[in-house]
Amino acid sequence: MSSDALPSRPAENAALAFLKKPLVVALILIVLLLAVGEWLSPGFASPGQILRLLIVAALLGIVAAGQNLVILGGREGIDLSVGGIVSMAAILAGNVMNGADGGILPAILVCIVVGALFGLINGVGVTLLRIPPLVMTLGMLGVLQGLLVVIRNGIPSGRAAPGLSDFVVKPFLLGLPGIIWLWLLIGLAMAFLLRRTVFGYRVYAIGSNEQAAFMAGVPVKTIRVSLFMLSGVFAAIAGMCLLGYSGSSFANVGEQYMLPSIIAVVLGGTPLSGGKGGYTGTMAGAVLLVLLQSILTTVHIDEAGRQMVFGATLVALMLFYGRAKAMRG
Amino acid sequence: MSNAATQTNTGGLGRLIRRYPFLPALIILVLLLALNGIFEPRSLSFRSMTGLISTYLALMMLAVAQTYVVFSGDIDLSAGSIVSLVNVSVIVLMQKWGGDGFAVIAACLAGALIGLACGLINGIVVAGLRLQAIVATFATSIFFTGLALTVLPVAGTPAPEAYWTTYGGRFFGIPFVFYAVAVVAILLAILMRMRLTTQMLAVGDDQQAAFQSGLPVTAIRIKGYVFCGLFAALAALCITGDTASGDPLVGGKMTLYSVAAVVLGGSALAGGFGTVTGSLIGALIIGLINALVFFVGTPSEWQNFVQGLAILLALMTGILVSRGARA
């Protein structure tokens, strides 16, 4: 699937230009969609509504952070297991805290460890056994879904602690709930990680040319395994926040994040071939995606029509971003 | 795919697997059949085999569908939603046209056309507009699901009796599904010998090289999606025969299984290498794993987990074995 052939260009400039363009496009589209929403149903773009929208976008955006990293690392990197990990984290966290604030910290620990563990297995499969990421994480998704059935039969679904719910929905600082701050923090951390650390440069290096990176002494396998682990951790954090958002977990809550997290990354200007792009665009992509869904719910059409419009609009949106180059002789 | 050791340890087995990429899958299949036979001797009876095939014929068709896009390095995440759309369309049309034999045949033809149209849309979106296959076909899958929900909002409308009695029935003592398998096998054998299959594999192997040697790459990829749509429609006809009713979400879960079946069959997801036969075997492997997990007496709540684990392990073994042989 990856057949991009532009290593001859000055990488820095090309990468920067590429990063800027999709982000600007996404931001313009966001403003445009907000205007359309306000026009369709007055009050759509009110601060309260926008805040609610951002909370939903934050949940998707946090999953997409891990997805983004795996995709950036190249070699057809993709993580289909995130949906399963989100569900798993939601139910585990619900049981560990079971409605008590004292259980929040242990729940965070359990979720992070579990997320990292499944990420580690994915990473080992992809690097040491060289299973294509799509196949490895697809298989892992099946295992996770099976595990969820086992867990659900053994224990009740659990409840969110009030503190966690407040963190997700109640204003925390400057009128914004904690999850928005968390998302911003993740955004900053990702920008720092990718642009200011050796690790970040290595991610781009293995994503754009693994062979060259290997020759230059980059520990390709270690980097790739850690990307999958980070993806698992981000999905687990999102699962916990999702529990706080909905109060209790239900079957396969996470599945709705699997493919949308990939779409958010692509709409944010990171091509699936990896090696270029960044998280700022992905954040805009997540907002864009949630915004679009939200507009469609305010319009009075039935579920079927809504899905058709959503699918067609997604295709139209993708036309703005990273289309493959036309073949040339 | 940059493999370190090329063309060194190529024993007789290696040559055999390169010639017949589905060989590891075939071995897994035989192994699973044997295990099934050990744990439940009756599972090898003619009757059980018929049951297995009529349940998994739909997945076999969908695996074939997926193979034709995987050949050229693409993927179709909307395959399952095409199954749903064709399933509800055929059900509604049969009901509208009266439910007699004529109506059934006309509805099946219409269903095939709908599948072709969906495939054409996918092909134009992915290859024509040059979008990334994974995300673009996910978007079209949302569109097709919406369309299916428009045709039939809730599951339940039954198929006319003539339809499912034919699918589950026997002719001259041989179950209908075996005739279906035979017809499809002949069809696939013809397709395999067509130049198009080679061209698809060439595109999947190296798109740039295929283009430079004068192949109409975009047209070939679009044809792959059209084939995928057609076989997804056939899968829908099978599932309609098996469940005898319409369900706008029936195919959703099948998409990822079809991808798994293709990989189990020894085809490379990156394209350029694979066989349809392998995918058929891959789909049967999934069916047999599910049956085996049941026969060994796994507690019901553990079944999904053991199935998932077994499929993951089978996927990994298949990839490792075929790579070991090709390296």
Give residue B222's pLDDT: 94
Domain span at residue A65? Answer: 61-276
Contact between A318 and B136 using a beta-carbon 8 Å cutoff? yes
Give residue A329's pLDDT: 56
Q: Is residue B191 a contact partner of residue B276, using CB atoms and an 8 Å limit?
A: yes
Average pLDDT, chain A: 84
Report yes or no: A289 at the B interface, CB cutoff 8 Å.
Answer: no
Q: Where are the domains of chain B?
A: 12-326
Give residue A18's pLDDT: 54
Average pLDDT over residues A285-309: 86
Nearest chain B Cα distance for residue A37, angstroms? 21
Contact between A139 and B139 using a beta-carbon 8 Å cutoff? no
What is the C-alpha separation between B106 and B109, in angstroms, rounded?
5
Give residue A11's pLDDT: 56
Report yes or no: A11 at the B interface, CB cutoff 8 Å.
Answer: no
Residue A307 covered by a domain: no
Contact between B305 and A134 using a beta-carbon 8 Å cutoff? no
Give residue B111's pLDDT: 94
Element (H, E) at B298: none
Q: What architecture does CATH give domain B12-326?
A: Orthogonal Bundle (1.10)
The one-letter amino acid code at A91 reads I
Contact between B149 and A303 using a beta-carbon 8 Å cutoff? yes
Nearest chain B Cα distance for residue A119, angstroms? 15
Q: What is the ipTM of this complex?
A: 0.82
Q: Is residue A39 a contact partner of residue A33, using CB atoms and an 8 Å limit?
A: no
Q: Which residue of A has its CA nearest to B141?
A: A311
Q: What is the pLDDT of residues A152-175, one digit of tens each?
A: 776 766 777 787 887 778 777 787
Q: Would you state the structure tokens that stand for residue A153, as one six-digit string?
A: 């039969």
Planar angle of CA B276, B282, B284, nearest 5 degrees: 115
Q: Which residue of B has its CA nearest to A147?
A: B305
Residue A140 confidence class, pLDDT cut points 50, 70, 90: very high
Residue A177 three-state SS = strand
Query: What proportion of chain A, given as a percentage, has pLDDT over 90?
Result: 28
Taking CA atoms, A108 is separated from A65, A93, A141, in Å, by 18, 7, 22
Give residue B8's pLDDT: 45
Residue A33 covered by a domain: no
Q: How many CB atoms lie within 10 A of CB B20?
A: 15
Residue A87 covered by a domain: yes
Give residue B2's pLDDT: 42
* CA–centroid distance for A269 within its chain: 13
Helices (H), chain A: 11-40, 47-72, 82-97, 104-127, 133-154, 162-169, 178-196, 198-208, 210-215, 220-246, 258-267, 279-298, 303-318
The residues near B177 (Cβ < 8 Å, ≥ 6 apart) are B50, B53, B54, B57, B167
Residue A44 covered by a domain: no
Contact between B130 and A153 using a beta-carbon 8 Å cutoff? no
> Which residues of chain A make contact with B326, given a CB cutoff of 8 A?
none
Interface test with A, best of B78, B81, B125, B130 (most A CBs within 10 A): B130
Give residue B120's pLDDT: 96
User: pLDDT at residue A300 above 60?
Assistant: yes
Query: What proportion of chain A, given as a percentage, has pLDDT over 70?
Result: 90
What is the C-alpha separation between B151 and B96, in angstroms, rounded?
12
Classify strands B170-171 and B174-175 as parallel, antiparallel or unpaired: antiparallel
Give residue A322's pLDDT: 61
Interface test with A, best of B129, B134, B213 (most A CBs within 10 A): B134
Mark the ranges of chain B whose per-residue pLDDT is less than 50: 1-8
Nearest chain B Cα distance for residue A48, angstroms? 29
> Which residues of chain A make contact with B270, given a CB cutoff of 8 A?
1, 76, 132
Q: How many CB atoms lie within 10 A of CB A153?
A: 11
**Domain count across chain A:** 1
Instruction: Name the more confident of A11 and A271.
Output: A271
Average pLDDT over residues A64-76: 91
What is the C-alpha separation between B130 and A185, in angstroms, rounded?
35
